[in-house]
Structure 1
Amino acid sequence: MKRLRKTFANDTWVMPYLRKYKGLLTLVLFLGFMTFFSGGALMFNSGYLISEAARQPTSIIYIYVPVVLARAFGIARPSFRYVERLTSHNWVLKIVSDFRKKLYESVEKKASAIQRSHQTGDILSILADDIEHIENLYLRTVFPMVIGWLLYLFIVIGIGALNWVVGLLMLLLLGVIVVILPLASVATNGTREYRQHQIQHSFYTNLTDEVLGLGDWLISGRYTDFMNLQKKPIKEIAELRRKDHFYQWWRSFFVQFIVLLTTVTLLIWGAYSFTASKSLANWVAAFALAIFPAVSPFLNISQGASEWPVYRRSIERVNQLDQNQVKPVKQTTLTEPFKSLSIDRVSFRYPDGNRDIVKDISMTIHPGEKVALLGPSGTGKSTLLKLLVGDLLPNQGHIMINGKDVAGLQEVRSALFGILDQQPYLFDTTVMNNVRLGNVNASDDDVKQAIAAVGLKALIESLPDQYDTQVQEAGSRFSGGERQRLSLARILLQDAPIIILDEPTVSLDPITEKKLLDEVFNLLHDKTIIWVTHHLAGINHVDQVRFLENGHFDMQGTPQELYRTQPRFRSLYDLDRGKTAESAIE
């Protein structure tokens, strides 16, 4: 119960929609209850009808009313079932529609932040499983459990009104099915369901990573190892499902056994209470048969409860999308050209973290200035970039452009920032369309000029389809250096004043890396550049260097100053370049 309250304490995905469609939810539950009530009433009436017909076989007048009621309840049950199914699925589809809209808006608004904080497999798991799980939460857990409990209360109160001792026995016997068994299902089978979901989620993530590196598997001759890695989780899931089916069989058998005890109890009670006369004896079979339609909803309670751990995890995962995101800020625009990017005593800590990733950082970057951010992995470089572009809000301090908070400039963000990162994404369309993404209003001549500027004119025009060449998915038609140049052409067309280079050459060979860096800094000589890198190749292109370590600037200055005054910088530079002479950077 404590975990249940914690799950929904800060929920923004489930509870708001329960309140939004509460009228329709009430109707669904009423129709579900009436479905099983009609089934129970049909069996109750049928038991009485059979007994009365056997006692008065010569005259239909004695059984006319039960015959009519049998027809009425027989029609009512499938009618209520049909309307209940239509209504419940309509209710769920309304909610799922809102879910998907909210999910896509979350991903769209914070695509770059989500890309950095979630693996591709995580996103696939959320899109493929979690929304479906929340949909099933209602269809397979909430509705069956509430309807089952309503029937339980109705039976206990109804029997208890006739005989409180038998009502107490019903409370205990059926309570095993609707209370004890669901708790046992959560403790045993629910753990298996949760484990299965974990394996499946891990399978999504690992398979995505392994497929992206499929070429390396084939080159290294480890095709068999690759296939064995995929078979292992599949076998684990199959084994868990086998245990799940085994448990469900025994759970169903136990429920049937409890129903048998309940039926025997009702028969014994009926034998003592309704045998004083022949007419009263008709009620014995009526009460005994009425319990059977409740078997299905009682079974659904345990099954729904066993699946709750999976649904809880899905609820927690989608709610995590709302964390670490920028709160709504009043938007504004710049009325003058870019003059300064100011970082004023900025600190940031993730909500689930125990330390500041960025600690009291301050710096000012002016138009045309080139800044290199260096530091080991995990020192806060990526977090600082998120803060700079507005993906995250600092816990303390401000980041401002021309004196305006960057969080309020998100609507004009593409006009301020151009980003070239490690794996620039090219879409499965033409070269022309991919480059034109930098400025959708650019003419064909503008696009061609940008492509020529990055040195790809000869290559593109040598292809059969030239600028209409399909780059294929993720740009696989071209090499890594060529993909980076196409992305650079896109940035040239975008013409933003601030360019962020997030380790754009990390996957390139040293010769290609040097050529690309020379081209980038030459073509963007009039732009403000913030370059995140992990080594010092090409460092002579920048005006100042900032070493970020443990969340703050450990070293800062021009490359020449640091080479002369900082032995650590000098050794790193010489190690990167394979040189020892101080004149190497001068």
Structure 2
Amino acid sequence: MENTPTNKELYATDQWVRPFLKKYKGLLYLALFLGFLTFFSAGALMFNSGYLISRAASLPENILMIYIPIVLTRAFGISRPVFRYIERLVSHNWVLKMTSDLRLKLYLVLEKDAIFFKSKYQTGDILGLLSEDINHLQNLYLRTIFPTIIAWLLYIFIIIGLGFFSWWFGLCMLLMLGVVVFLLPLISVLVNGARQEKQKVSKNELYKTLTDNILGVSDWVFSQRGEEFVHAYEKDEAKLRELDEQIKRFNRFRDFILQTAFGVITVAVLAWSSVRFPGNHGGAANWIAAFALTVFPLIDAFAPLPDAAQEANIYKDSIKRLNDLPEVTQKNQEAVLIPANTEIRIRELSFSYDQTAKNVLENLTLNIQPKEKLAILGRSGSGKSTLASLIRGDLRPKEGSITLGGIPTADFDDQITKAIGVIHQAPYLFRTTIINNVRLGREEATEEEVWQVLASVGLKEMIQGLPDGLQTMVDEAGLRFSGGERHRLALARILLQDTPIVLLDEPTTGLDPITEQQLLDTFFDTLADKTIIWITHHLQGVHMMDRVIFIEDGKLEMSGTPQELLAENQHYQQLYAIDRGQNKN
């Protein structure tokens, strides 16, 4: 069973929260100081107001003798909202800077290990990280750290201040306020802390359940079990609502105790001040109202402490999840890698997605010459797509090497887009103009160059016939275009990108045979002067390739020209017959 780290161990090794305490420490200290001044001004305002009212009421002519308290009342009355406003600006500015950096760091982690991430986490986990965890770390500062530190500062200030008037009453307030500052938060942690941690886990589970089932909603519908999914989800949601209600019930009871405690403190201050400053009118008796009224604005400073304490446990879970993510390494943007040529050399390549898992590719050796047309065949799960990711540099080999012009492909990082272009199974068109969609290949391309590539892929006349031509808006995902037209637009992007190597990742899947053949003819005609690596699962169009290889269980099973394999390789002959719908025994 995995050992759960203690709070001390977790925060000692934390790389997601602690660094920002130092990075923006100036704003942090300013926010805390302004928060203290806000409540100090509120208390001082009520203190002066109480003294002023008492002094003015004792003898009407005293109004001429209380000029200083009047000025102080004005000053604290103005400073309280001003400090509060500035404190909110500074604290939220600090938190927004921090969460902005957290999100950027999280996105860099997701981008760096996107392929591995999907193999370890579900979509719901990613949503939980983006929504729940970052949001909880934001609340860690706004609802826990800031209010707690400010309340502790006020607590110390009040006890010391009262100690100057009466040491024994200072000790009494140390105990009475200690109930609010320490005891009630502790009880909240013990009772509601575990519930809130369970609440957060339940929310994350709902994220995973909902996203998993929404992505597969068609299967639920086709199997006529849609209502079953809805009822199961509503049942889980009902459990979460019941948990929410338990938390709210305890919070209402605790808040009642909290307000009762403040009532007792107010009565105690009133009783002490009456004894400490005796008199009927004027003199020392003017201080009674001053001390008693000071209690009320301080309630706002101490009331959030139980809520802040009970939420501390859920922050621990968020920090642990974020610290379990891989480290973000800074990319070297200075070195520009220029391959000596476009030859791809694969030497004794082995790869697995997990150190303990079986290799997806095993001891693969292969050379791909410049301008060669290579087809990679294999059944689903044979390792074709993994090999494509290795060629693109998205993955690093577990053993062996894969180089482009003598440089490991994984070292190119983003620069690989200058050498290798990719057309996927389902090219995506964005909701913008046609010209903007095509210019994704090269943003600075002129309108004339865009028309040239559209003519090369056979779309020029069709787009000229549209009312707005290149300025025609594409609907979301490009659904107004057929599958073949979307692939031709993707090919136009590649032609603008003008990379020496083009990787076709099963681009004709789902198309009818006639459209498929027309699209393949367009691909190979327009890309005749480039290296083509075509990943496919069947043999239509393979006769146009220079070489065909077949991967089975991660190993290279056959290699040769289409003509040689069809004449000499029995396995290829069987595949060819099956692909043509013939029975071959």
Give the TM-score, by structure 1 length: 0.76
**Deviation, structure 1 residue 370:** 0.8
Q: Which of 378, 393, 397 is equivalent to 1:374?
A: 378
Letter matched to residue 34 of structure 1 = L
Partner in structure 2 of residue 547 of structure 1: 551
Quick one: structure 1 residues 349 and 65, their matched pair in 2 at CA, closer, same or farther if it must change by over 3 Å?
same
Q: Which residue, 24, 28, 36 being the options, matches 1:25?
A: 28
Q: For the Cα contact (< 8 Å) 2:192–2:247, is it kept in 1?
A: no
Q: Aligned-pair distance for 1:26?
A: 0.3
Q: Shift of the alpha carbon at 1:439?
A: 3.8
Q: In structure 1, what is the Cα distance between the partners aligned to 2:328 and 2:375?
A: 27
Q: Letter of the aligned partner of 1:479 in structure 2?
A: S
Paired position in structure 1 for 2:147 = 144
Structure 1 residues 299 and 72, CA gap change in structure 2 (3 angstroms): same
1:480 to 479, 483, 504: 483
CA shift, 1:332, in A, is: 2.8
What secondary structure does 2:80 align onto? helix
2:194 matched residue in structure 1: 187
Partner of 1:302: 306
Asked whether the 8 Å contact 2:46–2:293 carries over to 1, the reply is: yes
The Cα of 1:336 is off from its aligned counterpart by 3.9
| Match 2:184 to one of 177, 194, 197 | 177
Q: The residue matched to 2:503 in structure 1 has which SS?
A: strand
Change (3 A) 1:250 1:539: farther
- Percent of paired sites with the same residue: 42
Q: Shift of the alpha carbon at 1:25?
A: 0.8
| Offset of residue 250 of structure 1 | 3.2
Q: Secondary structure at the match of 1:188?
A: helix
Residue in structure 1 matched with residue 335 of structure 2 by the alignment: 331
Amino acid at match of 1:191: K
CA displacement, residues 331-363 of structure 1 (integer Å, 9 cap, x when unaligned): 33326431233355454556xx75366566443
- Contact (CA 8 Å) 2:195, 2:243: kept in 1 or not? no
Give the Cα separation in 2 of the matches to 1:187 and 1:300: 18
Q: Deviations over 1:403-422 (max 9, x none)?
A: 11224433532221110112
- Give the superposition deviation at 1:14: 4.0
- Given that 2:220 and 2:229 are in contact with CA atoms closer than 8 Å, whether structure 1 keeps it comes out as no
Kindly provide the CA deviation profile for residues 441-489 of structure 1, in whole angstroms up to 9, marking residues without a partner as x. 5555554454344444554455444555433222111122221222123
Alignment-derived partner of residue 250 in structure 1: 253
- 1:438 match: secondary structure: coil
Match of 2:502 in 1: 499
Q: Cα gap change, 1:307/1:454 in structure 2, threshold over 3 Å: closer, same or farther? A: farther
Query: Per the alignment, in what secondary structure is the counterpart of residue 365 of structure 1?
Result: strand
Q: Matches of 1:291 and 1:6 in 2, distance apart?
A: 39
Moved more, 502-511 or 240-249: 240-249
The 1:433/1:26 distance shift into structure 2, 3 A limit, reads closer
Q: How many residues align?
A: 570
Q: Which moved more, 1:494-503 or 1:524-533?
A: 524-533
- Letter of the 1:399 partner, please give it: I
Could you tell me which runs of 5 or more consecutive residues in structure 1 were left unpaired when the two chains were aligned: none
Deviates more, 1:81-90 or 1:193-202: 193-202
Is contact 1:113–1:391 with CA below 8 Å preserved after alignment? Answer: no
Instruction: For structure 2, list consecutive stretches of 5 or more residues without a partner in the other structure.
Output: none
SS at match of 1:530: strand
Give the corresponding residue for 2:511: 508
In structure 2, the partner of 1:403 is 406
Structure 1 residues 154 and 179: CA distance shift in structure 2, 3 A:
farther
Out of 418, 422, 426, the residue aligned to residue 429 of structure 2 is 426
Aligned residue identity for 1:366: I
In structure 2, C-alpha distance between the alignment counterparts of 1:330 and 1:187, rounded to whole Å: 49
Counterpart residue number, 2:357: 355
Root-mean-square deviation over aligned CA pairs: 4.9
Following superposition, the deviation at residue 532 of structure 1 comes to 3.7
- CA drift at 1:381: 5.0
SS at match of 1:470: coil
SS of alignment partner, residue 412 of structure 2? helix
